[in-house]
Amino acid sequence: MKRRTVLRAAGVALTLPFFESLVPRPLRAQAVAGPRRFLPIYLPNGAHEFWRPPSAGRGDAWQLSSILEPFGAALKPKLTVVSNLENASVFSADAVYLENSHGRLGGAWLTCVDAKAVRAALGLEEANGVSVDQVMAAHAAFKGISPLDSLQLGLSTPLGNCDAEPCSSSRSVSWASATQPLYKVVDPLEVFNQLVSVAGPADATSTSGIEAQKRYARNQSVLDAVLENAQRIRKRLGSGDRPRMDEFLDSVRAVERKATGVSNGMGRAGCLAMPQDLGSVDVSGAPRQNTEAYDKGAHADAMNELIALAFQCDLTRIISLMLEDERSEFTYDHVKLRTFTDAQTGSVEKDSGATCSEYHAAQHEAAGDDFATITWWNVGKVAELCQSLDAIEESPGVSVLDNTVVFLGACMHGSNHNGDQLPVALVGGGNLGLAGDQHVVLEARPLRDLYFTLLNDVFGLGIDDFGQNVKGAPPAKLAELLKT
Amino acid sequence: MAIELGRWSRALALAGALPATLGCAASSGAGSEQAPADSAPVVPVLTGMHRLNSTEYNATVRDTLGTRLQPASSSWRGGELGGFDNIASQLGVDEAQYDRYFRAAQALATDVMASDSLRAAFIDCDLAHAPCVEASLRRVGRRLFRRPLEPDELESYRRVYDAALALGDDATSAFQLTLVAVLSSVQFLYRIELDPLPEAAETHSLSSYELASRLSYFLWSSAPDEALLDAAADGSLLQDDGLAAAVERMLGPADVGDIGAAGDAKAWRFVESFAGQWLGERQVPSHASPAWSAREARAAAQEMLYYFNDFLQSERSWLEFPTADFNYVNGELPFLYDMPVPDVFGSPPPDDWTSTEQFRRVQDAQDQRAGFFGLAGFLALTSFDRRTSPSKRGKWIAGNMLCAEPPPPAQVLPSLETEASNAPGLSPLAVRQRLEEHRKNPACASCHALFDPYGLAIEHFDPIGRYRDNYDDGSPIDAVGLAEISQQVAEDPRFAPCLAHKLLTYALGHVVSDADEQLLAPIVDTWLAPDQAPSLRRLIRTIVASKAFRYRRGAR
């Protein structure tokens, strides 16, 4: 009884006006400090060679590559392409190629840790390091600042091959702890429900409505029984099983906060508008290609719209998005094949009307334009998302995109499965200190240096270390990315 | 058919004779008549709390509540290891997944309470009388928790009921809320096996209810039915004969004749879940090719299940799996197989026989096709969409049929697939030659020699399983042949133990490792003892009867 009273009081206290009270203290001097956001976007299976812009430099010295062409002239000033980052030094001092490359490199993409070594050290069948987005989400600058500390989304179809690794390595890029992969939500309707559940009703008076209070009370009574029984069983479990039970208890408590009206009441629902046709994206059948019920383009569009909504309404500041699971075998027969000749002249749709093949097979087919076209299509969906984020003005002359670091990358180079020369593009973040409009070509540097730079020099979190490097080099700043 | 003995026959023989140093080990005692002594010490695997996966969740709510709702979808949180999605260690939960459970519980409870007939399965009295609430709760608990409710549990759900009444709900709504609580509880969402003391690590036998759940999730992907719960209640399930009888009942009688319509039985879930994953049925790709649209791909994938099911519904020796000469076809497949219209579609066949959806068992001893490796589903599964891949086919056979997953390439190697794709101007023959060159590299040869020969032997079958004499460019195919390679696999000492390895992994929800060899070896020995044919059913009986299945130990 006491607990409920306290929580309800907290719910009232959390009814805050939009934005003003929620903007974190400026961590660096900024002209206009807005919310700082991070949006890592995972491109599976590497990128086609024509990703890399032919020339390096800033401004007019570099041009968009054929694959990155969808970003267009409007976003080029906010785009940074980084070449020669590698994540192989997490695993090996010399080899850039390793097997099982999809699963292992995928698992290390945001963690820069060898999951296999963590599993061996902990004696577990599923483990990894904490991912960079979750290091941020757990930091005081983000934790509890917005209704959701982070969100994990995906457009994948869950039938890919996991490359003999635990599937969490291929299907989750965000890890909250060594043992907690954060599974992404792929159903747009579910994402919307999640956003609504934390946004709270637009009309604050309805939270105190009798019906709402009754609903909360019913939920509370159900979850009280669930928690009570789980705790009773927990006492009878050996220490080996308790972490699993604790994970269950934590999940119930998180749902409890929303189902009993504690975490909502921020009154932002007025900001949320149901995107069009959300419910018509049917992801339930584990589609492997477009069907009558499933349209990948519509799926991507709906998710893009939800991401823009979540940011615009400040429901979360950290979202990881997987365009597909690693080693995706989705058949891209909804995309017309294009002819790519080189990295600079762009591409044109083929007259034949032929469509793209299966993603993973295409990755391995060095000849043919399937891989390039699929990469291009996925980049196009990211570009559209960036365009919509850039179209939302947050303060005079500053868009949501300017307050967001969009990081588009892959865990492997391309058709060769190597863990070096990773495709990396940063979009936006101009208001957070990213210089933009450049193609930075590094002497091979570890991927964790990018994260280290983002954590400390862009988000100002004061993190000493991140990830592993078997060569022993400490993490270092990539000053090239920053405004001087 | 004439078998061409190509230059790979020697490599094949070598591969067949290789000791099982990769993946799962062959049982040295294969064929031994000695059954393991019952007192042989075994150390059961550590099986933790086991969350129901999406398949199990849907099957469970259908079987226990009678609902037609199937809330779990492929977008629910899953997890796989070792090729199976029912591995306990991979089935964690998070806020989003619990939120799905909570929502599903509300939808299910609403559905059940809105239906007189569904409600009647639990409530056969007037809820206005207090004893009725308790009796109904006990019934719900027994079905959903797969054991009788404990007094504390009963009390906690009783409080939910009372709280709802206090909020002004009527008896039906109050019971509905209570049902939400039961369906949201850890005891429903997980299978939990307990040790005598929390920190006890000693091996001990499962309780009768725990055993009933293991058995029903193994064979039905679902909760025990009333009969199985009764067998747990009266202890008969703990007796060898009681347990064996339960297995026979759950699998259904063997040799039932035409089993083309077996799809409604609960045991079909075992076929879909175990064989569907192990044999790759869920992964069979469809291409844009007119000869292989989603319809053909679906039919060919289904055939793999029916082929497997033929072994489940008979006492046929498992050693015939690679060679048995029958197919299961619906109206889609005879054309692909270049097969005369089978009699089973009617004689004369009706005009619309090609749209027959039901699968029929057919035998054609005249064609070049037999055995599992002759199924279009397998042949397409292991091909790229525009060409065959001997390496892919061979690696699949070695990994899945012989449990000899080759070690990963250890260093930077030129990728064959990258070099030798179906680039314009590169003929299939060139692919073969490149493969040979690739194998000449000692670093590549050690692995490719282990599996390429299996794939090269069946080059007569194109990427969607059609028989061919020549490649598209007219060059002749030089291959050992399907019959030879299938026989080779069947006789390989690793073949039968590999099934035991996969099946024990699936049965326990734990990936069987080298450390578990002490569990696997006695099972294989008993199964292959020559007094009966080593059938799939016999292996299931052997596993269920084993200490690996009936015992557990705690983790300290």
Q: What is the token pair recorded at B453? A: 């020969």
Per-residue pLDDT at B427? 57
Write the DSSP assignment of B53-76 as a string of letters.
-HHHHHHHHHHHH--------TTS
Judged against a pLDDT cut of 70, whether residue A122 lies above it is answered with yes
- DSSP letter assigned to residue B464: T
- B90: nearest CB among A125, A241, A367: A125
Per-residue pLDDT at A201? 59
Task: Tell me how far CA of residue A416 lies from CA of A13, A98, A309, A419, B408, in angstroms.
Answer: 55, 10, 37, 9, 15
Per-residue pLDDT at B361? 92
Mean residue pLDDT of chain B comes to 85
Pick the range with the lowest mean pLDDT from A18-22, A245-249, A311-315, B433-437: A18-22
Query: Bigger pLDDT: B74 or A439?
Result: A439
- Give A 254-293 residues with CB within 8 A of chain B: 254-255, 258-259, 283-286, 288-289, 291
**A227 interfaces chain B, CB cutoff of 8 Å:** no
Per-residue pLDDT at A320? 98
Question: Cβ contact (<8 Å) for A226 and B185?
Answer: yes
User: Minimal Cα distance from B152: which residue of A?
Assistant: A229
User: A391 to chain B, minimum CA–CA distance in Å?
Assistant: 30
Task: Tell me how far CA of residue B366 lies from CA of A240, A263, B2, B338, in angstroms.
Answer: 58, 70, 12, 12
- DSSP letter assigned to residue B206: P
* Residue B421 and residue B483 in contact, taking contact as beta carbons nearer than 8 Å: no
Q: What is the token pair recorded at A118? A: 């963590």
Q: Before A100, cis peptide (omega within 30)?
A: yes
Per-residue pLDDT at B17? 36
Give the three-class secondary structure for A443: strand
Judged against a pLDDT cut of 60, whether residue B9 lies above it is answered with no
- Give B 458-517 residues with CB within 8 A of chain A: 511
User: A206 to chain B, minimum CA–CA distance in Å?
Assistant: 19
- B385: nearest CB among A232, A240, A358: A358
CB contacts, 8 Å: A152 with chain B: 96
User: B32 to chain A, minimum CA–CA distance in Å?
Assistant: 33
| ipTM higher than the 0.95 cut | no
CB contacts, 8 Å: A225 with chain B: 156-157, 159-160, 181, 185
Per-residue pLDDT at B198? 85
* Contacts A–B by Cβ distance under 8 A: 224
Percent of chain B exceeding pLDDT 90 equals: 63
CA angle centred on B168, ends A254 and B179, rounded to 5°: 50
* Prediction pTM value: 0.86
Question: Cβ contact (<8 Å) for A251 and B94?
Answer: yes
Q: Which amino acid is at A38?
A: F
Q: What is the token pair recorded at A386? A: 């960036």
Per-residue pLDDT at A4? 32
Q: What is the pLDDT of residues A173-206, one digit of tens each?
A: 999 999 999 999 999 988 988 888 777 655 544 5
Could you tell me how many helices (H) and strands (E) chain A has, helices first?
A: 13, 14
Query: Bigger pLDDT: B554 or A377?
Result: A377
CB contacts, 8 Å: B168 with chain A: 214
- In angstroms, the CA A318 to CA A152 distance is 9
Judged against a pLDDT cut of 70, whether residue B256 lies above it is answered with no
Mean residue pLDDT of chain A comes to 87
* Residue A37 and residue A404 in contact, taking contact as beta carbons nearer than 8 Å: yes
Residue B526 CB coordination number (10 Å) = 22
CA angle centred on A454, ends A449 and A455, rounded to 5°: 95
Alpha carbon B499 to its chain centroid, in Å, reads 11
Per-residue pLDDT at A432? 96
Question: Cβ contact (<8 Å) for A329 and B102?
Answer: no
* Residue B269 and residue B297 in contact, taking contact as beta carbons nearer than 8 Å: no
Of A101, A83, A54, A81, the closest CA to residue A415 belongs to: A101
Of A277, A303, A370, the closest CA to residue A330 belongs to: A370
Is B114 buried (19+), middle (13-18) or exposed (0-12) by CB count in 10 A? exposed
Q: Which of A68-82, B116-130, B323-337, B424-438 has the highest mean pLDDT?
A: A68-82
Per-residue pLDDT at B30? 34
Of A384, A460, A423, the closest CA to residue A136 belongs to: A460
Per-residue pLDDT at B34? 37
- In angstroms, the CA A288 to CA A339 distance is 24
CB contacts, 8 Å: B49 with chain A: 237, 241, 244-245, 248
**B207 interfaces chain A, CB cutoff of 8 Å:** no
pLDDT tier for residue A207 given thresholds of 50, 70 and 90: low
Judged against a pLDDT cut of 60, whether residue A299 lies above it is answered with yes
Could you tell me how many helices (H) and strands (E) chain B has, helices first?
A: 25, 6
Of A428, A455, A456, the closest CA to residue A131 belongs to: A455
> Residue range A385-391: average pLDDT?
97
Task: Tell me how far CA of residue B168 lies from CA of B109, B157, B162, B171, B427, in angstroms.
Answer: 18, 17, 10, 9, 77
- In angstroms, the CA A178 to CA A307 distance is 27
Q: What is the pLDDT of residues A22-42, one digit of tens each?
A: 334 443 334 457 899 999 999
* Residue A418 and residue A81 in contact, taking contact as beta carbons nearer than 8 Å: no
Of A42, A57, A41, the closest CA to residue A102 belongs to: A42
Pick the range with the lowest mean pLDDT from A31-35, A107-111, A318-322, B545-549: A31-35
The number of CA neighbours under 13 Å toward the Cβ of A32 is 15
Per-residue pLDDT at A289? 81
3-state SS record for B511-548: CCCHHHHHHHHHHHHHHHCCCCCCEHHHHHHHHHHCHH
* Residue B520 and residue B27 in contact, taking contact as beta carbons nearer than 8 Å: yes
Question: Cβ contact (<8 Å) for B411 and A228?
Answer: no
Per-residue pLDDT at A203? 52
Of A313, A26, A299, A358, the closest CA to residue A198 belongs to: A313
Question: Cβ contact (<8 Å) for B415 and A289?
Answer: no
> Residue range A393-406: average pLDDT?
95
Pick the range with the lowest mean pLDDT from A218-232, A234-248, A270-284: A270-284
- B421: nearest CB among A99, A258, A365: A365
pLDDT tier for residue A269 given thresholds of 50, 70 and 90: low
- In angstroms, the CA A30 to CA A202 distance is 32
Of B286, B501, B446, B459, the closest CA to residue A291 belongs to: B286
Question: Cβ contact (<8 Å) for B555 and A217?
Answer: no
Q: Before B348, cis peptide (omega within 30)?
A: yes
Q: What is the pLDDT of residues A154-165, one digit of tens each?
A: 998 666 678 888
**A94 interfaces chain B, CB cutoff of 8 Å:** no
Q: What is the pLDDT of residues A247-264, one digit of tens each?
A: 999 999 999 988 887 655
Question: Cβ contact (<8 Å) for A99 and B78?
Answer: no
Percent of chain B exceeding pLDDT 70 equals: 84
User: B425 to chain A, minimum CA–CA distance in Å?
Assistant: 11
Of A87, A173, A169, A181, the closest CA to residue A417 belongs to: A87
Best mutation target, B53, B74, B75, to test chain A (most A CBs within 10 A): B75
Per-residue pLDDT at A12? 29
